[in-house]
A and B are shown apart, each in its own frame.
Chain A
Amino acid sequence: MVEIRWHGRGGQGAKTAAILFGEVAVSYGKYIQAFPEYGPERRGAPVRAFNRLDDNPILLHSPIDEPDVVVVLDQSLIEPAKVVEGLKEDGILLINTPDQPAEVRKKYKIKGKKISTVDASKISKETIGKELPNTPLLGALVKITRFVEFDRMVKDLKIQFKKKFRGNEKLIKGNINSLERAYKEVVSE
């Protein structure tokens, strides 16, 4: 079983990313869970969302304390939200930042783990037209983890986006482009 923890700020789409990822994985026949953490919900406040992914039924219904992957939608959360806490020793830390993995490691004194970075904010601004780092991060996540096949995910997400954006072609295309760019641009150590 693989466990993912998403860190974002209210409004950045951490919950949506977890749900979209769960829906894609189900279309592959995987067993999944996607759930947000419910606290006081305010735009801009730190929020977390979670995914579990497995080939067998998932029985656990407890919080995820030791994830395999941590995805950070907002670099400013790295220290205050203790994003590294509980991340497995060989776990992956995927961060939305213009910095290179080595720079992030040095700046925040992160020991061990594998660090990947992608400038999801910039990509989303250039493709979708506003700062929505969640979709591009999905593309980067799939590149570094290979949980699902990228081409098929794009196909599945096109269907989801059609529903979500009520056929708005510009938004659908922008989101797909953001996925593809992040898939190409993500850098790992």
Chain B
Amino acid sequence: MPLKALTGNESMAEAMRQINPDVVAAYPITPATEVVQIFSSFVADGLVDTEFVAVESEHSAMSACVGAAAAGARVMTSTASQGLALMHEVLYVAAGLRLPIVLCEINRSLSAPINIHCDHSDTMGSRDAGWIQIFSENVQETYDNVIQAMKIAESSRIPALVTTDGFILSHCLERIEVLEDSEVQSFIGEYKPAYSLLDIENPITVGPLDLQDYYFEHKRQEIEAMREAKKSIEKVNKEFGDRFRRRYDFFESYKLNGAEIAIVALGSTAGTAKVAIDSLREEGKKVGLLKLRVFRPFPYEKLCEVLQKFKVVAVLDRSDSMSSTGGPVFTEARSALYDLTTRPRFVNYIYGLGGREITESDIKKVANEALKISKTGKIKELVQYLGVRE
């Protein structure tokens, strides 16, 4: 496989080029601008067959994507932060109409105050929109996830959003192995839409009014489709691993064997956490990491299986849900284990908002506190804020 030096943004644009979607409708926004810019140069240079729709806002971008996908096209887009927030209304339309659009999303904080740097508030703000959500630890995963997402979306008929961390990965050059164009094409296969507005032999209506009599049934089907999407994800992960020797799952277990406490993290922080865990293991401390890759659908059964044996689970959240009781990953992971008769104690650390750095020593602090809780059984504070001045 060819080695390349690519940034997160470049790797997403490269994956898009290799997928060669029928339609891309996008509007640039920092730090996702490069994805759109690089891809539009591929269009201008004739390297793809894509119809590129330059729109006036992200709301229009997602609307154009919905229209194109309803017509039966293979559709992709990219955005970040306020852009994803502006798409919010239309994200639900794409999901409700079961249109397998793939969105390359660069994680960035939301205003106010204005900040262009990484956190997961934007993506977490869309967690209930009915989109599959996949997080990436590094540039290689960013690239691999985009390619897998296309196939996952189309086989489950649910739109998928692949995230990478703003600046930390989007603008970080790393060594990656890319696939050949032909390998990507043969992996994703030809897209055969279940329905198409352009199929005049089989006319359909898209997006009609659906009141008390049937709306609930349709939503119930959408919920069921998300549950079923777990099978698609498993199948696509397996096929990708078998073909290209890079294995993916709903989450990655890192040194969880023999661990007393587990840290849960997603995105680029998981890499830094691995380094912290290696160092703590050398000190004889029994700690491990669960790196969550797929946040939607939430893999609660598997999470239960893996996390139940620990005394303490410390969840790192790069966003807060403003519920006053912790971040989204914390509340969902904790809830997943609630029905077990013996279950771990959970603590939450909100960190890295607006790009605030997180270091190996921050993560060691979390691990050491979790080990202390495991020993004493006492939790001083359920939710803490890592690296903030108070």
Instruction: Decide yes or no whether A129 CB sits under 8 A from chain B.
Output: no
Q: A23-B5, A29-B3, A32-B5 are in contact. Are A60 and B360 (CB under 8 A)?
A: yes
A60 touches B173 (CB 8 A): no
List chain B residues, Cβ under 8 A from A59: 138, 271-272, 274-275
- The answer to whether B4 touches A26, judged by C-beta atoms less than 8 angstroms apart, is yes
Residue interface bits B352-370, CB-to-A below 8 A is 1, else 0: 0000011110000000000
A145 within 8 A of B: no
* A26 close to B175 (CB less than 8 A): yes
The distance in angstroms between the C-alpha atoms of A63 and B360, with both chains bound, is: 10
Give Cα A61 to B270, complex, Å: 9
With A32-B173, A38-B117, A38-B167 as contacts: A61 and B5 at CB distance below 8 Å: no
How far apart are the CA atoms of A19 and B358 in the complex, in Å?
Answer: 23
Contact in complex: A61, B360 (CB < 8 Å) = no
Option from B167, B175, B272, B274 in Cβ contact (under 8 Å) with A30: B175
Given contacts A23-B5, A26-B5, A38-B167, A61 and B272 within 8 Å (CB-CB): yes
Chain B 208-250 near chain A by CB (<8 Å), digits 1 or 0: 0000000000000000000000000000000000000000000
B168, A61: Cβ atoms closer than 8 Å: yes
- B357 (CB) vs chain A CBs: closest residue: A63
Most chain A CB neighbours (cut-off 10 Å) among B5, B167, B357: B5
**A: interface residue count bin:** 20 to 34
CA distance A26 to B175 in the complex (A): 6
Q: Take A23-B5, A26-B4 as given contacts and tell me if A60 and B272 are in contact as well, using a CB distance cutoff of 8 Å.
A: yes
In the complex, chain B residues whose CB is within 8 Å of the CB of A58: 174, 271
CA distance A36 to B275 in the complex (A): 22
Specify which of A34, A61, A62, A63 is in contact with B173 (CB 8 Å cutoff): A34
Q: Which residues on B sit within 8 Å (CB–CB) of A31?
A: 174-175
Query: Does B269 count as interface, using CB distance less than 8 angstroms?
Result: yes
Among residues of B, the one whose C-beta sits closest to the C-beta of A50 is B172
Which of B171, B175, B357 has the most chain A CB within a 10 Å cutoff? B175
Q: Mark A155-181, 1 if CB is under 8 A from B, else 0.
A: 000000000000000000000000000
10 contacts between A and B (CB under 8 A): A22-B5, A22-B173, A26-B3, A32-B173, A32-B175, A33-B174, A59-B272, A59-B275, A61-B168, A62-B360
Further contacts, 8 of them, CB under 8 A, given A23-B5, A26-B5, A61-B138: A22-B173, A34-B5, A35-B167, A38-B116, A60-B271, A60-B275, A62-B357, A63-B359
Nearest 6 pairs of A and B residues by beta carbon: A61-B268, A34-B173, A59-B271, A26-B5, A35-B172, A23-B5
